Structure 1
Amino acid sequence: MHPLKLVETAPGKYSLLLNAGSTEADEVIEELGHEPNGYFWEGIARLVVQDEAPALAGRFGYDPEGGMFCAYGTDRAALEELGARMGALASDPERTRELVTAAEEAGFEFDD
């Protein structure tokens, strides 16, 4: 899950957090013309759910900011799975490059 972290914000309520600009993939993201901010990582999360883990759809919400990605909800297992999948991307610049390139070729627009 690293560099993401899962915190319990209240009993039974969780937030999955990523400090934007703190990943091994940041340089590649910038090379591809994007800002590695919270909004960009929301796009990555949506792609992961859409393409790799559709069973996660609707099980949490998103609340990114410029400096932070945040997904939140009461389904800890869903957030843990998203965190594991996103952590793998955040620590693998080439996999991130492949995902972003394929998404853009398919017409996906990142909101960064």
Structure 2
Amino acid sequence: MTINLHDFDGEHSLTLNAGGLAADDAVTAAGYEPNGYFWEGLVQFAWPEIAEDLDFDSEAGMFCAVGSPSALARLKATLESVITSPEAVRDIVARAEASGFEFDD
């Protein structure tokens, strides 16, 4: 359940292993797979001002964002409270669905 920041050859990334998170049951109950693609969509919907500064390279088992250290630090601080809060995930998913947003899970 750890969000990791990486610096490899000058490229900065943030990774989150999907699955085993406190919010997984809320994701599943909403009809989605709690995988890297779901979390990517959640970030793009909930925090477009952060997402616009990032590139994504998620996989089924891992969420991955690539960007500047400052954008990734903002994302990390934001995500930490959400991955541990089923209520926050339910709220974001409800708002996304009401707006017509489709998660790619």
TM-score (norm 1): 0.87
| Structure 2 counterparts to residues 84-99 of structure 1, below 5 A | 84-99=77-92
The one-character-per-residue Cα deviations of 1:40-96 (angstroms, maximum 9, x if unpaired) are: 00001102322xxx2x353220010000000012x1010110111112110111011
Opposite residue 43 of structure 1, the aligned amino acid is G
| Structure 2 counterparts to residues 42-81 of structure 1, below 5 A | 42-50=40-48, 54=49, 56-73=50-67, 75-81=68-74
Corresponding residue of 2:5: 6
Any unmatched runs of 5+ in structure 2?
none
Corresponding residue of 2:31: 33
Opposite residue 5 of structure 1, the aligned amino acid is N
Change (3 A) 1:94 1:21: same
TM-score (norm 2): 0.92
CA RMSD of aligned residues (A): 1.3
Q: Does structure 2 retain, via aligned residues, the 8 Å contact 1:17–1:70?
A: yes
| Aligned-pair identity (%) | 42
Change (3 A) 1:71 1:57: closer
